[in-house]
Structure 1
Amino acid sequence: MSNKPYIPDSDPDHPRWLLNLDKWEVFPYEDVEDEVKENGYGIVSYTWGMWSDFDNPAPDLPKYRVKNSDDPIDLPWKVPTIEVLTLSHARETMRKCLDKEISFVWWDWMCVPQGKFGSKMILSPELGTVKGEEIAKQMKIYQDARQGFIWLHRTNWDKPDSLKLQTYLKVGFGSQATFKDTLDEFRLSIGSIQEQEPWLTSGWTLQEGVLLQKSKLMDHEGKGLPGFMSSTGSPNENVFTLGDAAAEHLAVPATGLADDIATAFMRYSEGWTSDSLHELPQGVSEKVKQAITYFGPRLANGDHSQEYKNSASTFTDLIRCGLVAYWPGPQTGLYILSGASSRRFTTREDRCWALIGALELEGLNPWYSNAKTEEGKEEDFRKIKKEFFRPLLEKYQWELFIVPTVEDPEYERLSWFERIVHGGVLPLSLFLVKDPYEDLPRLKYDAGSDEIICTLESSGCASNSTRRNFIQLKKDVFARHYRQKRLDPKEPESPRGVIEVDEIKVEKMSGLVYLPVMDIHVPDAPHLNLGEDWGRVESSGLRCAAFELVGGGETSGFFKGIVDLWGVPGSFEDITSYKEFRICGSQTKALAEERWRCVMA
């Protein structure tokens, strides 16, 4: 008879194992399914990787019990010691935070095989595969939990060192006298709370906070922080209840400030300055007016002031900290990816795998590099990013293109999966108030040529019977450009990658082609002196993805970011001849291929 412990088959709808807190035993899900269906299971988000010691297994582990076995056995894997967190205290806190009728919990420390290449705790190939399969279905595991909580085990709400986090949650950034004071307070606040509570800097907890937006923030002792309003029921019901702080409340101050900066940038691009604030339409917040005053006048050379750039740098920090991703409701992929850029990951592979659930990606099989050299590990990570990019593009489509014009030469040398997956391009969605059209052409990735293929032909299905066409300019128009002069570095450093919004100006006809992705209103811009034609533009403008055609070509080009266009009647012409359009990746590679085609011709 084999002594090999029983490993259940993977079930895409359920975890393989659950831990019974009361019995302190791990069970295959299939053995306890009836009980779990009746009472549910709990789930916990906390951070432990930065203190894990994979050379010293933790003591007092739960046992492993399989149905019809006489006695439980040892877990089929070891669990690392966590320097600052004992199993006994963790178990006690979980029991305190979960409802009494919930006996089972999905606890990654116990329910996912643990191991680390190069340590004394190395997983067998079989358990390595099992680990990847459990990671891949984390979204489903979190969604099906009856109850969840976020354990800030380095925080104690009753102690003074938690006051900065409490102030951030309760007060935010609305009370400062000047906008400079607001920016300074953000930098002091975010640095302090991230240092105090590592849950706010972990890569895995970025995903878990997205999946547990309504779950309470519990401190080291299992206590909540009261006094917060949360919505319940469907979004249309607008029912609010008073209770403890939850993950979604972490998003409110950061998202509010980011939205104020974005709104101020847009108003500033429309010609509004401190001299004309009294003429602004009703409804513009005082914080936005403070920001516009702080920017000061535009410089004579058209450049932005240092105060404007300070605000742009703060916007980058707000996006990178990841708290914006906890905003209630569906997330855009770029905000989750940007939020991950400043988070800690135990392994580089987890920069992708730890986001699968938050991004709701399917069809991925996580794996980890066993390469012995840094070059080998980096090459494996490139392969992982390429695998990760396919379902990312399949799900998010044109949302991944709601970004500024990137002027950093490094961008042109990157493949598509390197640009989108942790490439340092910043998202624009907070500058916009609408979602992309639903009838945009479908996109798919051609890895061989590093091109994204935009298919404009109808599939024949009713839902796809109409597709947006590309357009070209037939007259001069008015345009607003969004620019990012430098890719944001992987590590926080100066100069940062920032978004700047150009003033609306006349745009001459060019060889660019555009794909409209959403309608935009015609802004009130009386101080820009745009001339009589501005009063004749059509009732709505077009927010477009811009493309520079490959030399001599007509159906392939380089992506040049998002641009807003307004024109008088007859300014835009549909290009109806396109059946597909190829969006080139690395410009160097594409130009070389174009030259080769010319030689062969």
Structure 2
Amino acid sequence: MALNQIPDNDPDHPRWLLDLDEWLILPYQEIVLNQGGPPEYGIISYTWGRYYTGNQAPDKVPSGIMWNVPSVSAFSLEDARNVMGSMRKRYVWWDWMCVPQGSAPDLSPELLQAKGQEIGKQMKIYRGAKASIVWVHRTDWNAESPLRTLLKDGIPPPGGDFIGFFTAISDILGEIRTTEPWLGSIWTLQEGVLLSKTALLDRNGTTLEDDRFMHNGGKASVIDLTAGLTGLVIRVAAAFMRLSNPEDAKDENAPDAVLIEFLKQADNYVYVAGVLATIMRSGLVAYAQDSPLYVLSGKTSRFSSQPEDYCWALLGALDLELANTWYHKGSDMDRVKAVFFQELLQRWQWPLFLVAKVSNPVEYDVLSWPERIVDGKMLPLGIYFDVFWKKNLPALSWIDNGKDKTQPDMIILDNTKSDQACTFWKLAQPGLGRVYEQTSIVEETNAMVQIRPVGELLPTENRLYLPIADLGPQFERSGARCIEIESLDENTGRFLGVVDLWIAEEDVVQVTFADFRLLGSMV
């Protein structure tokens, strides 16, 4: 390895770029000085972890590199160089060459720090690129493959055989993760979000073309991976919602009336809800920015060789930045999750809480707030409805319990900076409610969302409802989408998920607080 000086960190730009013409690693700022302005660079997304065989021979790697470059069985450096040339950019940001690879003791403390800084600013590096490619190097567009089927050939419509149709969907998602590693990596989950309009190149550097693809002149792009699945999920979710409303469920002319009738059978309901959850965990639903819960849910089906990357590899996808990240082989994951969650909560606030009540409270109550949200085990409810947020919702912050595991961590709802108090509803008379329930968060294969039919909600002494979003009137009553809370004392409670509530204004008592606390781990 060359004993070059490590360039100073620039929080807005990459430290190094690869010069494809000279096969040379150069500091970004040196390129700026040499050409009198910022360079236009391309960026490549691919995956290689499962094909690692050692380190490249020194005579094959670019000059100027300060760490060992991985060697893989799936492709050669020359293969990658040829594919990157399709971007027609002299300079390329390629993680092997532009982010220090490895860990201590192979990397010096200075290179470890540089690695953390480069990972922490991924979003800015990707946004600064002027060209990009996604290299699905285990796929050949000229041959049959699960990925080609998903994108172009398609799965035949159900034609009444819903079991066969949803089984085919579930099977193809599993096959894609097995045959094309780009769909199985935690890093590429982020890269797909940041490069949503980027063309998908196969092992030969060629594209898949079809009139249905809306970007890159009819070439398959990352966004095409999500378009069909997201549309399907929303359509099926709408059927579940109509089924939960007794009047809609009886309408034989309703959209997807045949599917609704199929879902009325308990076994069918459970099966389709399970497939829906599987699709959600694929990371291919709402595969775009501004979708935090979908990204977090998708991480559960992705692989990383380093535990910390289940957080750090998603910073850019979640519109987060950290001045520095670190790697201790998973020995301090509580701290990693805590730092990540602080940033996540500050950036996203209430959208992180659009989740269901967990059927078994014991599973949920043992988890801290970072574990509940960061681990991605709570399935997003956004597929079931649009959200029209109420104004002046309380600001959210988090208090860590530190190392004192005898005390719960807490989400603080704070309205002290608002003109309005934090106002909850307490039922004085029965209302009508729709409850969303997630069956598990521990056993992934059994975790699904079930929507209880709209029914009577009775006044309960220890129940509070915080209206967070507007809901159209039904049943001759006004409605609100609420967070249900089990009140524990004067200003503390347990989070019980989202509930749709219809009730007359005179039938609720308004309870106000300057602040309120939602408990995390209650062990």
Change (3 A) 1:36 1:470: farther
Is this contact kept in 1: 2:484–2:495, CA < 8 A? Answer: yes
- Aligned residue in 1 for 2:328: 369
For residues 520-576 of structure 1, what are the alpha-carbon distances to aligned partners after superposition, in whole Å with 9 as ceiling and x for unaligned? 1235xxxxxxxxxx3x313xx1000111111xx121100011000001241223223
Task: Work out which of the residue numbers 273, 279, 286 in structure 2 matches 1:318.
Answer: 279
Change (3 A) 1:198 1:559: same
Change (3 A) 1:28 1:170: same
- Aligned residue in 2 for 1:46: 46
- Aligned residue in 2 for 1:599: none
- 3-state SS of paired residue (1:425): coil
Alignment of 1:212-361 (within 5 A): 212-229=195-212, 242-271=217-246, 276-280=250-254, 284=255, 288-297=256-265, 305-327=266-288, 330-361=289-320
Is this contact kept in 2: 1:58–1:81, CA < 8 A? Answer: no
Matched, 1:421 2:374: yes
Q: Distance in 2 between matches of 1:58 and 1:441?
A: 57
For residues 4-38 of structure 1, what are the alpha-carbon distances to aligned partners after superposition, in whole Å with 9 as ceiling and x for unaligned? 52111111110000001111001100011264956
- 3-state SS of paired residue (2:231): helix
Q: Please, what TM-score do these two structures have when normalized by structure 2?
A: 0.93
- 3-state SS of paired residue (1:105): strand
Is this contact kept in 1: 2:19–2:25, CA < 8 A? Answer: yes
Is this contact kept in 1: 2:346–2:397, CA < 8 A? Answer: yes
Change (3 A) 1:207 1:89: same
Q: Distance in 2 between matches of 1:407 and 1:421?
A: 20
Task: Work out which of the residue numbers 469, 490, 498 in structure 2 matches 1:562.
Answer: 498
Q: Distance in 2 between matches of 1:158 and 1:92?
A: 19
Pairwise CA distance, 1:339: 0.2
Pairwise CA distance, 1:471: 1.9
- Aligned residue in 1 for 2:392: 439
User: What one-letter code is carried by the residue in structure 2 that aligns with 1:314?
Assistant: V
Task: Work out which of the residue numbers 37, 47, 72 in structure 2 matches 1:82.
Answer: 72
Q: Distance in 1 between matches of 2:352 and 2:301?
A: 19
Change (3 A) 1:36 1:402: farther
- 3-state SS of paired residue (1:469): strand
Is this contact kept in 1: 2:430–2:458, CA < 8 A? Answer: yes
- 3-state SS of paired residue (2:352): helix
For residues 106-133 of structure 1, what are the alpha-carbon distances to aligned partners after superposition, in whole Å with 9 as ceiling and x for unaligned? 000111111145xxx8211111111110
Change (3 A) 1:488 1:273: farther
- Aligned residue in 1 for 2:10: 11
Alignment of 1:115-264 (within 5 A): 115-116=102-103, 122-160=106-144, 162=145, 164-170=146-152, 172-173=154-155, 175-178=157-160, 179-229=162-212, 242-264=217-239
Pairwise CA distance, 1:230: 5.9
Pairwise CA distance, 1:398: 1.1
Q: Distance in 2 between matches of 1:365 and 1:241?
A: 35
Aligned length: 512
Q: Distance in 1 between matches of 2:237 and 2:421?
A: 30
User: What one-letter code is carried by the residue in structure 2 that aligns with 1:581?
Assistant: F
User: What one-letter code is carried by the residue in structure 1 that aligns with 2:9?
Assistant: S
Q: Distance in 1 between matches of 2:258 and 2:150?
A: 20
- 3-state SS of paired residue (1:326): coil
Change (3 A) 1:488 1:268: farther
Is this contact kept in 1: 2:103–2:112, CA < 8 A? Answer: no
Pairwise CA distance, 1:485: 2.3
For residues 317-340 of structure 1, what are the alpha-carbon distances to aligned partners after superposition, in whole Å with 9 as ceiling and x for unaligned? 11111111424xx33211101101
User: What one-letter code is carried by the residue in structure 1 that aligns with 2:236?
Assistant: I
Q: Please, what TM-score do these two structures have when normalized by structure 1?
A: 0.81
Is this contact kept in 2: 1:227–1:242, CA < 8 A? Answer: no
- 3-state SS of paired residue (1:183): helix
User: What one-letter code is carried by the residue in structure 2 that aligns with 1:90?
Assistant: A
Q: Distance in 2 between matches of 1:59 and 1:478?
A: 72
Is this contact kept in 1: 2:139–2:203, CA < 8 A? Answer: yes
Matched, 1:542 2:480: yes
Q: Distance in 1 between matches of 2:98 and 2:308?
A: 20
- Aligned residue in 1 for 2:520: 585
- Aligned residue in 2 for 1:505: 455
- Aligned residue in 2 for 1:529: none
Alignment of 1:468-487 (within 5 A): 469-487=423-441
Change (3 A) 1:6 1:219: same
Q: Distance in 2 between matches of 1:557 and 1:10?
A: 44
Pairwise CA distance, 1:158: 1.3
Pairwise CA distance, 1:229: 4.9
Q: Distance in 2 between matches of 1:572 and 1:57?
A: 73
Which segment drifts farther, 417-426 or 135-144?
417-426
Change (3 A) 1:383 1:247: same
Q: Distance in 2 between matches of 1:169 and 1:310?
A: 24
Change (3 A) 1:554 1:514: same
Pairwise CA distance, 1:296: 2.8
- 3-state SS of paired residue (1:587): coil
- 3-state SS of paired residue (2:389): coil
Task: Work out which of the two has the higher radius of gyration on C-alpha atoms and give 1 or 2.
Answer: 1
Task: Work out which of the residue numbers 446, 449, 453 in structure 1 matches 2:412.
Answer: 453
The answer for unaligned runs of 5 or more in structure 2 is 402-407
Matched, 1:21 2:20: yes
Is this contact kept in 1: 2:41–2:90, CA < 8 A? Answer: yes
Which segment drifts farther, 241-250 or 497-506?
241-250
Pairwise CA distance, 1:406: 0.9
Which segment drifts farther, 177-186 or 409-418?
177-186
Between the aligned residues of both structures, percent identity stands at 38
- 3-state SS of paired residue (1:542): strand
Change (3 A) 1:39 1:13: closer
